[in-house]
Structure formats: C-alpha cells, structure tokens
Chains A and B, each alone.
Chain A
Amino acid sequence: MNDPAADGPELARRPHRILLVREWDQQTTGSGCCGRLEGGDSEIAGASDFGRCRQDMEAMGAVYRALREELPQLDVQVVDPRNLTFLLPGMLRDARRGGASWRESFREVRRGCGQGAIVVDGRVVSSGTIPAADAAVGMVLRQLAASAP
C-alpha cells in the first residue's frame, strides 16, 4: 500500500483523523457501576455474554492493525458508538474542517455514529458491514487522496 506522504506533501502535513466505530461489547450506562465484571472475571464460569460481538470486534481489530501498519503516522481512534460526547463534536469538527457544509456534516454524523463505521476526516467511507482489512485501507487511502487539495 502507498503511504499518503507519497501522494503529496500537503496530504502528509494535514492532521488527518480516522475513526473506527466499533461494536458495543460492554454495558455502560446505569449498569456498569454495580453490575459488571471485567477482564478475566468477565469470562467466569466460561461465560461469554458478548461472544456475538466478538466477530465484529475482531474484524474491526484487523482493520485497525492494517491501518496502523500502512499509515503509522495517522491518528486512528477506535470509538464505541455510544460515546456521543466525543463522536458528535469530533465528527462535526472534522467534517467542517474538511470543507463539508453543515448539511453534509450532519449527514456524515448520522451515518458515522453506528457500529462498523470507518470515518476519515469526518467523511464516512464505510458503515454497517465491516470490510476486509485490505479493502478498508484502500477506502481510507482513496478518501485521503480525494481530500488532498
């Protein structure tokens, strides 16, 4: 895969951010504090409550590792789709900084706040089904190239 730096000095200089919106594999609000075991204890007695999520988490993990390998200089963040205090302002800011209108920005936010979404500088390049790692890297590179001036 190509390093975006090879596509032009402007692309390498701009602070790009990639958000990977993961599967929601844990309980949080209202039940995390007094009703949750963690780490090794979450598998006590062989329990695997969130096993169904695991496949998607592992698929997103492969995308993450591929992106870190191909584009080590970029900021890649894995975010829970419920973390709206980060996602909403973060995606809006990224999209607006990338030149999107408010209308476009909100549309991207709507699509991006879902499990399996891959967001490059506020633009959703994939959502729903998680693509294979190579395909995901290709989508990200194309979006980075497209956003270059």
Chain B
Amino acid sequence: MPAIVVLVVVFGVFFLGWKYYSVYLAERVYALNDAIPTPAHTLQDGIDYIPTNKHVLFGHHFTSVAGAAPIVGPAIAVFWGWVPALIWVVLGTVFAAGVHDFGAIVVSVRNRAQNIGSLTSSVINARSRTLFLIIIFFLLTLVNAVFAVVIGNLFVGNPGAVIPIVLEIPIAIALGQYMYRTKSAALIPSLFGVAALYALILVGRAFPIELDNLAAAVGMGPRTLWIVLLFLYAFVASRIPVWILLQPRDYINSHQLFIALGVIFLGLLIGLDRIVAPAINTALPDGTPNFFPFLFVTIACGAISGFHSLVASGTTSKQLDKETDARYVGYMGSLGEGSLALGAILATTAGITAVGLDWETQYPDFGTASAGAVGNFVQGIAGFASHLGIPPDLGTIFAAVVVISFAATTMDTGVRLQRYIIQELGEMIPEGGRGLGAGFKKATRNLTAVTAMAVALPLALALAPAGGEAEAQGFAFGRLWTLFGTTNQLTAGLALSVIAVYVTKSGRNAMAQIVPLVFLLFMTTWALVLNLIDFVQEGDWLLAPLDLIILVLAGWLIFEAGNAILKARREQPARQDTTVEKDSNP
C-alpha cells in the first residue's frame, strides 16, 4: 500500500470529521452562541484575558499540544499491524480527541475560563479536585520515567546526537541572554540557533559519543548510565530559572516542530514509499499483549490526550474571541495532533524502507518493538529526509536531535512541576505534627530534598527491570509506556466527565462524550487489571503497587463520573433554564 494513499484517505476522514461532526458538536451538543460574551471580553485585561483572532490562537494552541508523546505510542503500536493503529488514531482523533479538546475549551469558557482542575471541583464535586491532583502526580512521574528511557535509548542508538544535544544547552543559554540583555527581536538569533544546532550534527557524526567504557567502569549498562545522567541533568535544570535555559530552548524547539513536520510530509510526498508492515500482524509471538485493550492505552496522545484539557482550559479559553472559534481552535488542534501520530505510523511502516531496514527485523517481538520504537521513528524520518537529498546518517541524527530536544524539555518541566506538587502535598499536612508526616513536611520545604524526591520515583521506574524480553533489554519500557497511557487516559476521562456533566446539565444530549468516556475507562481498567496480574505473577513489586494505585484511581473516577452524570440526568429538566441563564452571564 503506498503511504501517500493512506495519507490522502486519513486527511479525507479528518476533513469529514471537521466538516460534519465538529459542526454537530458545535450546534447540537455545545450550542455555541456568539451572542454570549467570552471571558476574553468580560474579563479583558490585555494580559491573560485577550480576545484573540482564531488563527493566532490556533497557532498558540497547536504548538502547545504537539510534542513527543504522539510519536512514541503509534511507533510502538504498529507492532499489532498498521491498520489497527491507524484506525484508533483516526477514530480516536475524530470522535474522542476532537470532542475532548473542543469541549474542554467550551466548558471552560462558559465557566469564567476556569481550568479543568477547578472545573472538576465546581462541576462534579470537591473530592474530584483531589483525584485530579493525584492523577497528575502519577502522570508526571510516568512522563519523566518514559521520556528518560526514550532519550537514553536514542543516545545509545544514535551517539552522533550527543554533541548537538549537549551543545544545544549553551546555544540556548546564549540565545536567551542575547535576547534579554539586548531586548532584540528573536527571529534571526533563534534561526541562527537552529542553524548552529544542525551544523553541530556534522560534528556529532564525526565525533560520536558512546559511554560503553565509562558505563562498564561504573558497573552499569550504557542506557542505565544515560538515564542516571539525564536525571542528574533534570535535577539541576529544574532548579534554574526558566528564562535561562528552558524558555530559549523552547524557542528553538518551536522552529524544529515545523521543520520536522515539513521533512515528514514533503519526504513522503516526494518519495512515494510503500507501507511494508503487515496490515494486521498475525504472526505475533507468544507473550505479546493482546491489542484489545493494550492498543488503546499504548496510543494515548495522538488518539486522545488528557493533557490537552489542561492547555485548552488554561490559556486558550482565556483568549477565545467568540464561542464559535472554539470549534476551529479545539477540534482543528486535535486533528493536528492526529496528523503527528499519522506521521509516526507512516515513518515506522514506510519510511524505514528508504534507509534499507526490514520491518520484521525491527519489530520481532513486543519488547524489542517497544524499546526500539523511537529509534524506528528516527530511522523512518531519516528515510523521508533522504528523499529531500539529506544523507540517511545525517537524517537519523537530525530526527534524534528533534525528539530528544522535545523530550528533554518535557523532563525539565516535569521534574519542576513534580516538585511543586510534592510541596503542595507537604503543605496539606497540619503544622505541629510529629513523626513521618512532620518529617515529610519539613523535607518538602528544602529545595534540594524536594527535588531529590521529585527525581527518585521516576528514576526508579525508569531503571525498573521486568520479566521476559523487556528484562533482557534491562528496561520495562513497554509496560511503563502503557502505565503512562492509562494515566493519560484517566486524565482525559476526568475531563470528558466534566464536559458530559456540563452538557447534561444544559439539557442536551451528552452521548458524544459518554461513549468515548465509557470506552476509555473500560479499556483502561481492563489493561490495568491484566497488567496487575502480570506484575504480581512476575513478582514486580515496584510496578505492581503503582498499577494498583492507578487502578484504584480509575475506580474512583468511574464512581465520581457515574454519580455526577446520573445526578445531572435526574436534575436535567429543572436545571435547563437556569444553566442557560448562568451561561449567558459568565
């Protein structure tokens, strides 16, 4: 099957989703009304609340929701065959992510632009706010763990990427200092930064850095050593003010996103590669997780991502000029994320042939497929880049640099946010206590101690051994990734519950939210139960308790969501008019 055909068909379905389903959502489900002033107008301050042109807002929203996660999940999931992965990406994007992202903006806009954490409290109940914070805590822990493994694998597989990535740090710092000290326009300096970064790819190719000898000297594997070094980096970087490193590197990343998208889709159009992976992989080795339910938690971002509700309800909703703009910004943003996932599927099933790789060799079993997924994506991008005249070895390093830049920035922020959440948990312990609680509270007030706590759990998870193939490679990456996926789906489930309750209270049909919500919670719970059985049988006493905690959170969420939706349905006729009245006076 030519990849270009898949590209055209998927974009065709996305277009139909945009043309018909998003209009149904806008008119029949969310009942958008431009006569209702948005918080950008009613609370306008020119700082946080600003009525913004929908094209401008789409640019902000899309770049905020795009990241490395929609690459990793699909790159693993094609192991079950490219058709199941593609179907979930397409249906998930059109019927779940679109509803979720679009709905999160609408509900936030109708509630004074409150973010989803506050909305869980006001729309469902106060307990749900605690649930939200706990889910976010585990989500951040898993984000940091999986991205450390992703970067570690990429450094081991692409030693040419080490020099560009390491030197990107001083480049970003220099860029930031230049911009802040001179107050100069950033376009040209930031483009120079990107050019310098890519020039360093040539240096990296000439001088690849491998840690094999050092790792052997300290009694670790090279991946393990990289992961330890990465968390040391995150420990330091998360304590540096954001304007020194994080912000300027983010500026460089904003250029890299569009460069990478251009390379993927231009390379695909020019190269006309064929998909070589099986449509449905019928030759699955023993021990492969069944794609029901694991496909639906392996691909989280790219089909539906709970984190988008944080962006949609945090910044986007404060800047929405008219209610009807929510369709363009929210639904179209989810289609953009789905396109990234599509790019990952095509890179790992078609692009890799352009660099002479054999799909069966790259995807022999689930453990290898999981551990090598991002490496395969990188090779696929190198394949697409080769059609643009870029030598495959340089293209591989280029793709690795892009993914590592994104993932490293995510780790930097993830550790920083985790530190804040631990501090918040410490503050919840009453003053004047004694024992473990008092000790924890005291420790959370010490920057070094609290940062060490933020690093310790994800580091332990990233280094956790597991049985079977994963253990042979020293990492439980596939399992960690599915745990990350389940937590991300729970966040999405919480946001969908809020939206469903809101729609029901407004006297309209909430099936567009309830169907994906039930589907997600069913698949998530099923996957957690199967994982738990495996972890217990294998005696994995690090992942088993973690899985159990997330399972309890899932049960809690099902209880709260079910209760809130049923209550809203019971009160629906009486509340209809008052809700509309309240909506019109945000």
Contacts and interface: CB of A to CB of B under 8 A. Distances in A.
B50 A64 contact: yes
Nearest to A49: B242
A33 B64 contact: yes
Interface stretch (B308-316, B433-441, B537-545): B308-316
A79 B254 CA distance: 14
Interface in A1-40: 24, 26-40
9 contacts: A27-B250, A32-B311, A33-B307, A36-B310, A64-B47, A77-B52, A81-B187, A83-B56, A128-B183
Top 9 A-B pairs ranked by shortest CB distance? A38-B314, A114-B185, A30-B406, A39-B115, A64-B46, A128-B183, A61-B46, A32-B64, A33-B67
Given A77-B52, A83-B60, A86-B59, A31 B250 contact: yes
Contacts of B337: 33
Interface stretch (A96-104, A105-113, A137-145): A105-113
Given A34-B410, A40-B118, A27 B247 contact: yes
Given A35-B143, A115-B179, A24 B50 contact: no
A147 interface: no
Given A28-B63, A28-B64, A40-B118, A61 B410 contact: no
Contacts of A24: 247, 250-251
Interface stretch (B221-229, B414-422, B548-556): B414-422
A57 interface: yes
Contacts of B186: 81, 113-115
A31 B68 CA distance: 8
Interface in A43-85: 44-47, 49-50, 52-53, 57-58, 60-65, 68, 75, 77-85
B46 A39 contact: no
Nearest to B420: A45
Contact of B188 (A26, A47, A110, A115): A110
A42 B116 CA distance: 12
B313 A85 contact: no
A61 B47 contact: yes
B184 A128 contact: yes
Interface string A109-136: 1111111110000000001110000000
B256 A39 contact: no
Contacts of B409: 27, 30-31, 35
A68 B414 CA distance: 38
A38 B46 contact: no
Nearest to A83: B59
Given A28-B254, A33-B65, A49 B55 contact: no
Contacts, number: 221
Contacts of B417: 35-37, 44
B413 A38 contact: no
Given A26-B64, A28-B60, A114-B186, 13 more contacts: A31-B67, A31-B412, A33-B305, A35-B67, A36-B311, A40-B117, A40-B118, A45-B421, A45-B424, A81-B185, A86-B59, A127-B185, A128-B184
Contacts of A77: 52-53, 56
Nearest to B484: A34
Interface of A: 24, 26-42, 44-47, 49-50, 52-53, 57-58, 60-65, 68, 75, 77-86, 109-117, 127-129
A114 B251 contact: no
Given A38-B315, A80-B60, A29 B115 contact: no
Interface string B43-71: 01111001011011001100111111110
Contacts of B50: 64, 78
B257 interface: yes
Nearest to A67: B46
B488 to A, nearest CB: 8
Interface residues of B, number: 79
Given A27-B247, A30-B257, A38-B313, A68 B46 contact: yes
A34 B52 contact: no
A113 B392 CA distance: 34
Interface in B163-209: 179, 182-188
Contacts of B287: none
Interface of B: 44-47, 50, 52-53, 55-56, 59-60, 63-70, 113-118, 136, 139-140, 143, 147, 179, 182-188, 241-243, 246-247, 250-251, 253-258, 301, 305, 307-308, 310-311, 313-315, 337, 405-407, 409-414, 416-417, 419-421, 423-424, 427, 488
A111 B512 CA distance: 46
A129 B183 CA distance: 6
B455 to A, nearest CB: 15
B258 A85 contact: yes
A26 B60 CA distance: 10
Contacts of B67: 29-35
A75 B188 CA distance: 27
Nearest to B143: A34
Contacts of A47: 416, 420
Nearest to B65: A33
B117 A41 contact: yes
A29 B253 contact: yes
A68 B423 CA distance: 41
Given A24-B247, A35-B413, A52-B241, A86 B55 contact: yes
Nearest to A17: B53
Contact of B69 (A34, A50, A84): A34
A47 to B, nearest CB: 5
Given A27-B413, A78-B50, A110-B185, A37 B66 contact: no
B115 A40 contact: yes
A78 B410 contact: no
B115 A38 contact: yes
Contacts of A113: 185-187
B117 A39 contact: yes
Contact of B314 (A42, A60, A111, A128): A42
A114 B184 contact: yes
B56 A32 contact: no
B427 A45 contact: yes
Contacts of A127: 183, 185
A52 B246 CA distance: 13
Most buried by B among A31, A75, A79, A85: A31
A83 to B, nearest CB: 4
B424 A37 contact: no
A28 B65 CA distance: 8
